[in-house]
């Protein structure tokens, strides 16, 4: 009998340890999604040297992308010191080295195929980690079976069709180019996602003319021009979204089932509020809302999409002037153009949050780090600022495990030689996931893989974190 009681006690102790929420080995909340970045969307820091590039928000005074790193086939004709800011600057430099459109397009296609080697095994890792969805950043420059026209400034325009390779940006004067993305390549990726029971969130990360300040916006370091003419911008966002909506609704059942939803624009008008309400971009708060609203109004014309897909509207605090008014402006707008039923079913508001850019800094020593991690609370504030109910759909389609935008200053990067960096990083990541779960938020880690620069791998590359 004593042995029986002893066994019961041991079993009870075992169960207590494994379900007690105060224990360290409690099952951690899972990451809902991850960004598959670096393939169809180019940012210079992804392809930089680890000897001198640490900052995620690279400066407009110094390009960081190494041309021969992204295109190793060019080592015999381009110096290894030759660098680029983003996609458009990269293409300009290739043109200046006498490469033609076909050669440049083939280089991009080779990169898109080889940036993440063995994509099926990567999808398997993603699925096995418990991730359900992949956010896929794309540029606006997609070629479909049908041809279409994108307008620009000063009556400029460009035609995109199946034969398009390198496309002029009509907002600039023959000095800005994009590399076309074949929609059939994206369909192949959908097939792969289907094989691993993963969803895909299509994210249009850039727009013609550039929609934001930042290396991800394509035109960097030139000032964005997409907003300079409101009527043209409205027409273009409808054209770009209509192509995408039509494509999705015409997919076969297998590919259609993979699509989680569509994100019309990434970080629209980011950093506009550092200037004035009406500034060098020639756009007001209301102009931005009206232009973004075109994608919502058009979406409502697609009952099939409304029935089972999501429209994920990304907004950012730095686009509204003054910045502390952002939640009120976007929240009122969102509640006016969507119904409560919409916000329960398909209308998702999406806010990125990176502790790496917090002001004051998230932490500069172990004590402050541990305190801020223990007391981490962000997403209830975001809900409150936007005036969203707890059951209104809310995503955070970008976040990371970094506490500082310059990895050589971050206690979670491993570059400061502190022995506990992994412990701090993992605790910080877990604190964010708990906060998301508590506030009914689905988050997408930025990003899955950064194979070239090791400075970013410990806190920005989920693949490196989990393996």
CATH number at residue 159: 3.20.20.80
- Alpha-carbon distance of 364 to 88, in angstroms, equals 36
Within-domain flag for 71:
no
Q: Which residues contact 323 (CB under 8 A, 6 or more apart)?
A: 273, 317
Helices of type H across 20-144:
67-70, 87-96, 101-114, 119-128
Tokens linked to 390: 């707890």
Tell me the mean pLDDT in the region 86-93. 96
Tell me the mean pLDDT in the region 103-109. 98
Within-domain flag for 442:
yes
- Alpha-carbon distance of 332 to 212, in angstroms, equals 23
Within-domain flag for 194:
yes
Within-domain flag for 221:
yes
Interval 9-32: pLDDT, tens: 444 444 333 433 333 333 478 999
Within-domain flag for 413:
yes
Tell me the mean pLDDT in the region 243-265. 98
Instruction: Tell the burial category of 69 from Cβ atoms under 10 Å away from its Cβ (0-12, 13-18, 19+).
Output: middle
Cross-strand pairs, 182: 143
Within-domain flag for 100:
no
Per-residue pLDDT, 447: 96
Looking at mean pLDDT, say which of 56-65, 202-211, 355-364 comes out highest: 202-211
- Alpha-carbon distance of 172 to 81, in angstroms, equals 27
- What's the domain range around 393? 27-41+110-466
Tell me the mean pLDDT in the region 2-9. 46
Tell me the mean pLDDT in the region 200-204. 98
Q: Does the pLDDT at position 7 exceed 90?
A: no
Query: Nearest-CA neighbor of 425 among 398, 462, 450?
Result: 462
- Alpha-carbon distance of 360 to 362, in angstroms, equals 6
Tokens linked to 21: 């929420």
Alpha carbon separation from 205 to 91, 216, 375 (Å, rounded)? 18, 8, 32
Tell me the mean pLDDT in the region 89-116. 97
Q: Does the pLDDT at position 88 exceed 50?
A: yes
Within-domain flag for 201:
yes
Interval 417-432: pLDDT, tens: 899 999 999 999 999 9
Per-residue pLDDT, 26: 39
Helices of type H across 276-420:
285-299, 303-308, 326-337, 340-345, 366-374, 379-386
Query: Nearest-CA neighbor of 119 among 5, 39, 220?
Result: 39
Per-residue pLDDT, 137: 98
Average pLDDT, the chain: 92
Within-domain flag for 364:
yes
Split at pLDDT 50, 70, 90, the class of 235 is very high
The DSSP code for 321 is S
Split into its structural domains, the chain has a count of 1
Interval 291-320: pLDDT, tens: 999 999 999 999 999 999 999 999 999 999
SS (H, E, C) 116-180: CCCHHHHHHHHHHCCCCEEEEEECCCEECCCCEEEECCCCCEEEECCCCCEEECCCCCCCCEEEC
Give the torsion sign (CA, 384, 390, 391, 397): positive
Q: Are 212 and 224 in contact (CB under 8 A)?
A: yes
280 vs 39: which has the higher pLDDT: 39
Split at pLDDT 50, 70, 90, the class of 280 is low
Tokens linked to 395: 């995503």
Interval 24-82: pLDDT, tens: 333 478 999 999 999 999 999 999 999 999 999 888 899 999 999 999 999 999 999 99
Interval 369-384: pLDDT, tens: 999 999 999 999 999 9
Tell me the mean pLDDT in the region 102-106. 98
Query: Nearest-CA neighbor of 112 among 80, 85, 93, 138?
Result: 138
Decide the pairing of beta strands 65-66 and 83-84. antiparallel
């Amino acid at each position: 009998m004593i042995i029986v009681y002893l066994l019961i006690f041991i079993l009870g102790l075992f169960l207590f340890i494994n379900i007690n929420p105060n224990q360290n080995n409690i099952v951690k909340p899972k990451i809902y999604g991850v960004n598959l970045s670096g393939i169809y969307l180019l940012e210079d820091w992804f392809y930089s040297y680890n000897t001198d590039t640490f900052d995620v928000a690279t400066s407009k005074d110094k390009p960081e992308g190494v041309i021969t790193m992204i295109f190793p086939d060019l080592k015999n004709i381009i110096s290894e010191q030759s660098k680029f800011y983003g996609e458009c600057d990269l293409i300009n430099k290739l043109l200046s080295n006498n490469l033609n459109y076909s050669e440049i397009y083939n280089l991009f296609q080779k990169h898109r195929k080889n940036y993440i080697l063995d994509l099926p095994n990567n999808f398997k890792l993603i699925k096995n980690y418990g991730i359900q969805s992949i956010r896929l950043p794309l540029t606006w420059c997609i070629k479909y079976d049908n041809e279409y026209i994108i307008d620009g400034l000063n009556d400029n325009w460009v035609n995109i069709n199946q034969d398009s390779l390198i496309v002029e940006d009509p907002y600039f004067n023959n000095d800005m180019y994009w590399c076309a993305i074949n929609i059939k390549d994206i369909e192949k990726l959908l097939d792969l996602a289907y094989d691993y029971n993963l969803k895909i969130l299509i994210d249009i990360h850039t727009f013609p003319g550039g929609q934001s300040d930042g290396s991800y916006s394509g035109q960097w370091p030139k000032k964005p021009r997409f907003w300079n003419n409101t009527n043209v911008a409205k027409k273009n966002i409808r054209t770009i979204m209509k192509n995408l909506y039509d494509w999705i609704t015409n997919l076969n059942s297998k590919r259609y089932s993979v699509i989680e939803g569509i994100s019309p624009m990434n970080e629209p008008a980011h950093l506009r509020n550092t200037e004035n309400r009406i500034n060098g971009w020639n756009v007001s708060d209301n102009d931005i809302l009206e232009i973004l609203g075109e994608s919502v109004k058009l979406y409502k014309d697609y009952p099939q999409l409304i029935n089972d897909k999501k429209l994920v509207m990304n907004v950012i605090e730095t686009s509204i002037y003054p910045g502390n008014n952002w939640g009120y402006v976007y929240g009122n707008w969102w509640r006016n153009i969507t119904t409560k039923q919409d916000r329960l079913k398909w209308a998702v508001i999406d806010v990125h949050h990176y502790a790496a850019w917090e002001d004051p800094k998230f932490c500069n020593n172990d004590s402050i780090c541990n305190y801020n991690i223990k007391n981490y609370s962000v997403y209830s504030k975001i809900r409150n600022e936007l005036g969203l109910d707890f059951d209104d759909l809310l995503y955070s389609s970008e976040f990371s495990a970094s506490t500082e935008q310059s990895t050589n200053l971050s206690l979670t990067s491993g570059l400061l030689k502190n022995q506990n960096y992994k412990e701090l990083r993992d605790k910080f990541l877990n604190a964010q996931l708990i906060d998301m779960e508590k506030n009914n938020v689905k988050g997408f880690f930025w990003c899955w893989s950064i194979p070239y620069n090791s400075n970013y791998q410990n806190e920005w590359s989920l693949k490196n974190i989990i393996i």
